[in-house]
Amino acid sequence: MASTLGTAQAPPVAPVTRGETGRARGRRGGSYPYWFYLPAAVIFTVFFLIPTIASFYFSFTRWDLFTSTWIGLDNYKTFFEEQALVIGLRNTLIYATMTAGLKVVIGLLLAVLLTSKIIARGYLRSVIFFPVLVSTIGVGLTFTALMNPELGLINKALAVIGITGPDWLVDPQLAIFSIALVDVWAGVGLATVIFIAGIVSIPSDYYEAAQVDGASRFYSFLHITLPLARPAVATVVTLALIGGLRSFDLIWAMTGGGPGFASDTIGSVIYKQYQAGFYGLSTAGSVVLFLLVSAIIVPLTWWLNRHEVD
Amino acid sequence: MRFNKSGPGRAAFVALATASTLFAAGCSAGSLGSSEEGGGGGQAGAVTITFLHGSTDTDVASAKAIIEAFQAANPNITVKDDSRPGGSDGDNLVKTRLATGEMAEVFNYNNGSLLQAIKPEQNLVPMDDQPWASTLDKTFVDSTKAADGKLYGGPWGTVQGGGVLYHIPTYQKLGLEIPQTWDEFMKNNEEIRKAGIDPVIQSYGETWTSQLFVLGDYHNVEAQVPDFAAQYTAGKMKYANTPAALEGFKHIQAVLEAGYFNKNYRSAELNDGIKMVADGKGVHYPQLGGVTANIENVAPGKSNDVGFFPLPGNDPATFGMTVWPGNGLYIPKTVEGDKLDAAKKFVEFMTTQQGCDAYAKGTPPTGPFLTTNCKLPADVSQAAKDTQSYIESGKASPALEFKSPIKGPALEQICIQVGTGQVSAEKGAALYDEDVKKQAQQLGLPGWE
């Protein structure tokens, strides 16, 4: 009982309030003079629009940064014949769904825990968020050392309690899952913060009413917290999925796509083509990645937002 | 439509690239300060150039010793020291810096096929007119030329072999002989395993180290198919359909299936491997002879416990070593005036005994120097002596990457795929042929469209 009340009375989180007023202000003052848009338009055109169009052009050429020869769709053909791409495509989807799923589930559970009345709540919230602030490369190198099958701390610790640890990053079957777990560890803090903001913005009246009707805490969670935190779920799913689909830095720091090509994702396949100096080919790969992310995220956002209106 | 008259889009893109280059240049010019202003060249002639080199312990130590000796001999020239990563990260950095005009005045880099991939005709200063050009080793010259037949680099380092490092005390203890054929090699491995020692070391934690079974086998390929390099460059012969070339991939699979690899072969790194073979924890380590220069750093006092023999093939009569004729020292075309003169002096310095001695101070030589001006010091390592004996007796040929401009970038990953049992040797060779095709097309070679 007390804890339900505690949840309801938790101090309102600042970003939510700020977001509301910001939106309201934007709507009210709709018209700015046109010159006001100019700086943003110039920056957008020079740094985003032109490179995007140029990249579409170069993806149809054999390009060595000095000269380019038009070769039509050959780059796309080569890219799709790339053996690493088949593995990469599969890994990208596994990685994106696995990290997004775990971040939603674990993030939501942590958020419920961290909005309840527990000791050292502020401290625990910072602890959960801390890995988000650490550089991905730093996280990758640290876990590569920890996950070393012979010398790493994880397997040594497991050995103490009599378990033979798996070969984490050097087992071709396991590598991509090991990296995904590290990604969840490093990124779940952000999901938790978004969920906390979503949960504390639920008006306490609902919980009080449910309590009067004799609802259990689990029932309140299932029928009040979960549906009303839907916007937060939508945000987390979208962000985590985009992050997972374009995942590259952590994988590159931990395995470089290896052993062999076992943990390659589309991102690392593209980077390898770039490294090898196949600039046209890697540009074509980027276009493919752009289309793939759009094809997944656009319908998903539409679907999630449609439900939000209901 | 818009793409057809791509003029404006591309122009703007180039403008953007130039703008960011200028921005970067602006930053570095500030830190260089006044030394930059002597560019016109009238007065005292104090010049500053930068030397970009590899970042291994031995490369860094050599660069330091050379710069010190060079500055003492040329008080007007200051050389700044800069290093870059090795492997594909290094290739990427070199290509990008050349493309953006940001390259250091002098840099060292591979010759052979990797040199072709940075387009020497377009990007580098030719050096055939230099007085030292005639003193160079012929294999080095052949592999430092571009398609236009001009020489584009000075010598850096020594010749090194690609073969098998082995632990001499274990060979003596078990009474083993240097294997002349692959079957003898596998028999030795069996003996070593019976003695409870890991027969073959691999270090897939550092991916490039996986390639030696294939690259180091080239002497045997050429012994059986003398025109392989030409046919392969023309796209007529492939690894997958040439039995002699396929052997290298098959050897990896054979060693894996016999269970001869060290237990941690999937995560060990180069220095772990060197330490294992120097300490006798493992006995055979297929590797470039050049890595023995680092034995003193990881296992002090063990340099003479490690010997070197070629990767054996099928015929004892053609037993011999595949060699890598050193690396090159290059000057990008963007360098002009006083800086160009200073850079040329620096390259020339490396063709003198003084320069070679300074190099040897940081990197113990692993084979003969590349110019007749330089003599080896008296106390070279066992591996260097072994390499030299194969070269002197004529039982050596340059690796494929010095005879053909194409080397696929993914060979290291493909060798690991075979070595971890993910694909068979035949599949690995076929995958590598696909990889090579991309490189050949990028270079615009005939016969690959």
Domain range summary for chain B, segments of one domain joined by +: 29-158+327-362, 160-324+389-443
**Per-residue confidence (pLDDT) for residue B44, from 0 to 100:** 54
- Region of B447 (left: φ > 0; alpha: ψ -120 to 50; beta: rest) is left
- The shortest CB-CB distance from B88 to any of A53, A60, A276 is to A276
Q: Is B60 helix (H, G, I), strand (E, B) or coil?
A: helix
Question: Between residues 241 and 270 of chain B, which touch chain A (CB distance below 8 Å)?
Answer: 263-264, 266-267
State the pLDDT at residue B12: 40
Fold match flag (B29-158+327-362 vs B160-324+389-443): yes
Tokens 């392969």: give the residue.
B232
A260 closest CB neighbour out of B91, B117, B416? B416
Over residues B341-355, mean pLDDT: 94
Fold of B29-158+327-362: D-Maltodextrin-Binding Protein; domain 2 (3.40.190)
Residue B43: pLDDT over 60? no
pLDDT at position A120 is 87
Distance from CA of A57 to the nearest CA of B (A): 6
Whether the predicted pLDDT of B106 surpasses 80 = yes
pLDDT of residue B38: 39
Chain A CB contacts of B281 below 8 Å: none
Distance between CA atoms of B45 and B32, rounded to whole angstroms?
16
Give dist(CA A27, CA B237) in Å, integer.
68
Q: Which residue in the block uniquely carries the two structure tokens 């919980």?
A: A207
pLDDT bin (cut points 50, 70, 90) of residue B20 is very low
**Are B422 and A62 a contacting pair at CB < 8 A?**
no
Contacts of B119 in chain A (CB under 8 A): 64, 66
> What's the pLDDT score for residue B6?
36
CB-based contact, A48 to chain B, within 8 Å: no
pLDDT at position B255 over 50 = yes
Spatial neighbors of B99 by CB under 8 A, at least 6 apart, are A65, A66
**pLDDT for B94 beyond 50:** yes
The residue in chain A having the minimum alpha-carbon distance to the alpha carbon of residue B9 is: A54
CA distance B203 to B219: 23
Q: Is the dihedral of CA B50, B151, B245, B92 positive or negative?
A: positive
Query: Which of A50, A66, A260 is nearest residue B420 as measured by Cβ atoms?
Result: A260
What is the rounded CA–CA span in Å between residue B441 and residue A78?
11
Q: Does A65 touch chain B (CB under 8 A)?
A: yes
3-class DSSP assignment, residue B255: helix
Percentage above 90 pLDDT, chain B: 62
Mean pLDDT value across chain B: 86
The answer to whether residue B29 scores a pLDDT higher than 60 is no
Query: In which residue are the tokens 């968020």 written?
Result: A129
How many other C-beta atoms lie within 10 A of the C-beta of residue A72? 9
B118: nearest CA partner in chain A: A277
Looking at residue A63, what is its pLDDT? 85
By the CB < 8 Å criterion, does B420 face chain A? yes
Helix, coil or strand: residue B161? strand
Indicate the pairing of strand B327-330 with strand B106-109: antiparallel
> Can you count the helices (H) and strands (E) in chain B?
19, 11
The verdict on a CB contact (< 8 Å) between B267 and A149 is yes
How far from chain centre, in Å, is Cα A308? 21
Question: Of A82-86, B90-94, B103-107, B294-298, where does the model show the most confidence?
Answer: B103-107
From chain A, pick out residues whose CB is under 8 angstroms from the CB of B12.
46, 50, 54
Residue A254 and residue A179 in contact, taking contact as beta carbons nearer than 8 Å:
yes
Kindly tell me if the per-residue pLDDT of B449 is higher than 80.
no
Q: Is B219 helix (H, G, I), strand (E, B) or coil?
A: helix
A–B CB contacts, 8 A cutoff, strictly below? 101
Q: Please give the pLDDT value at position B36.
A: 39
How confident is the model over B301-322, as a mean pLDDT?
93
Q: Tell if the CB–CB gap between B416 and A258 is shorter than 8 Å.
A: yes
Give CA–CA dist B377/A60, Å, rounded.
54
- The CATH classification number of A65-309 equals 1.10.3720.10
Residue B90 has a pLDDT of 86
Q: Are A260 and B409 inside 8 Å of each other by CB?
A: no
Q: What does the pLDDT profile of chain A (310 residues) look like in tens digits?
A: 333 333 334 444 444 444 444 444 444 556 778 888 899 999 999 999 999 898 889 999 888 777 788 888 888 888 888 878 888 889 999 999 999 999 999 999 999 999 888 888 889 999 999 999 999 999 999 999 999 988 899 999 999 998 888 889 989 999 999 999 999 999 999 999 999 999 999 998 988 898 898 888 888 888 888 888 888 988 898 889 888 888 899 999 999 888 989 999 999 999 988 888 888 899 999 898 888 888 988 888 888 877 654 4
CA pair distance B315, B151, nearest whole angstrom: 36
Tell me what pLDDT residue B97 has: 92
- Check: CB of residue B331 under 8 Å from CB of residue B144: no
Q: Do B12 and A262 touch (CB under 8 A)?
A: no
Closest CA–CA distance from residue A251 to any residue of chain B (Å): 14
Task: Select, from the ranges A183-197, B2-16, B21-35, B80-94, the one with the highest average predicted confidence (pLDDT).
Answer: A183-197
Query: Do the chains contact at A46 and B95, CB–CB below 8 Å?
Result: no
Q: What secondary structure, in 3-state letters, does chain A show?
A: CHHHHHHHHCCCCHHHHHHHHHHHHHHHCCCCCHHHHHHHHHHHHHHHHHHHHHHHHHCCEEECCCCEEECCCHHHHHHHHCHHHHHHHHHHHHHHHHHHHHHHHHHHHHHHHHHCCCCCHHHHHHHHHHHHHCCHHHHHHHHHHHCCCCCCHHHHHHHHCCCCCCCCCCCCCCHHHHHHHHHHHHHHHHHHHHHHHHHHCCCHHHHHHHHHCCCCHHHHHHHHHHHHCHHHHHHHHHHHHHHHHCCCHHHHHHCCCCCCCCCCCHHHHHHHHHHCCCHHHHHHHHHHHHHHHHHHHHHHHHHHHHHHHC
* Residue range B160-324+389-443 in CATH 3.40.190.10: yes
Inter-chain CB proximity A272 and B409 less than 8 Å: yes
B13 touches chain A (CB under 8 A): yes
Q: Is the Cβ of B183 closer than 8 Å to some Cβ of chain A? A: no
pLDDT at A106: 95
What residue of B is the nearest CA neighbor of A78? B438
Q: Let me know: does B318 contact B180? Beta carbons within 8 Å.
A: no
Report the SS3 class of residue B320: coil
- For residue B13, is pLDDT > 60? no
Q: What does the pLDDT look like over B204-226, one tens digit per residue?
A: 998 999 999 999 999 999 999 99
Contact of B7 with chain A, judged by CB distance below 8 Å, is answered with: no
- pLDDT score of B19: 40
How many Cα atoms sit within 13 Å of A161 on the Cβ side? 6
**According to the per-residue pLDDT averaged within each range, which of A15-29, B138-152, B245-259 is highest?**
B245-259
